[in-house]
Structure formats: structure tokens, C-alpha cells
Amino acid sequence: MAEHSAFWDDLERDLEDPEFLREYVTSSVRIATIDTIVNALDAARHDAGLSKAALARAVGIEPAAVRRLFSSSSRNPTLGTLAEVAAALGLRVTLEPLSDGERETITKPLRTGHKGQPRQVVSASQSRRQIAATA
């Protein structure tokens, strides 16, 4: 339990730096959002019975690009690629407003450089509801 406490103490100290706070929140939101969209697209691909190669042909990209999209731990696809893959699966990428609570713990720190509770910042910035692939 002491290691867990030390982590939160260190993170809380680091989050006092407005530049670190902004970078932490934006990176966390980016990673969670990309993971959510890519996982939803891969589930839709699987549900449609499409292989990665068949999806690549439908979109007109190299099969290796689709394999990387669904398997790379360091993926950072463009919005254009996500939109094309989504369209080939009968989906569209849309934006969704943050809840009031998420705005307080995500948007406010980004705009002001001041955090609330570090655990709330961590939890909200990793929320998977910011952007979703929808039918």
C-alpha cells in the first residue's frame, strides 16, 4: 500500500506544474480516445466477419497498415484513417460532449493549468467517452 501512496504523492506533486498537468491530461485523453475508437472498429470488423486484409482492400490501404492499426501498442492513426475504416464498417466517427464532471476535471485543468484532486484528473482524463465510433 505504501508504493501506491508514494505514486499518488509523486503524481500530485507533478500535477502542480501546469505544463506537466496539461501534457498529462492531453496524453491520457488521446490514448484513451484512440484505444476506444480502435477497439470499437476492431469489434465491428470482427462482427462483420471481415479479415484485416479484406478491410484493407475495402479502404484501399496496405494490409500491414490495418494490422498495425489493430495490434500496435504505439498506434496513432490519423482521423482520416479512422473515418475511412469506420465508413467501410458502416460506422461514423462523431464527437460527444463531456459531462459536467468531466469538464470540471479535464477541460478546466487544460484551460487554467490548475488541477482539482489528482485521482479525479487521472480517472476523468482516461475516460473512454470523449469520442466514440457510432453506427
Segment 19-36, tens digit of pLDDT? 999 999 888 888 889 999
* Radius of gyration from C-alpha coordinates of the chain: 18
Whole-model pTM over 0.85:
no
Which comes out higher in pLDDT, residue 74 or 118? 74
> How many domains in the chain?
1
Which comes out higher in pLDDT, residue 134 or 117? 117
Q: What distance in Å separates the CA atoms of residue 15 and residue 18, rounded to the nearest whole number?
A: 7
| Residue 86 grid coordinates | 469506420
Residue 2 clears pLDDT 70, i.e. is over it: no
Q: Are 125 and 28 in contact (CB under 8 A)?
A: yes
Q: What distance in Å separates the CA atoms of residue 50 and residue 71, rounded to the nearest whole number?
A: 16
Residue in the block written with cell 464527437: 95
Residue 134 clears pLDDT 50, i.e. is over it: no
Domain boundaries, position 43: 2-134
pLDDT over 90, % of the chain: 45
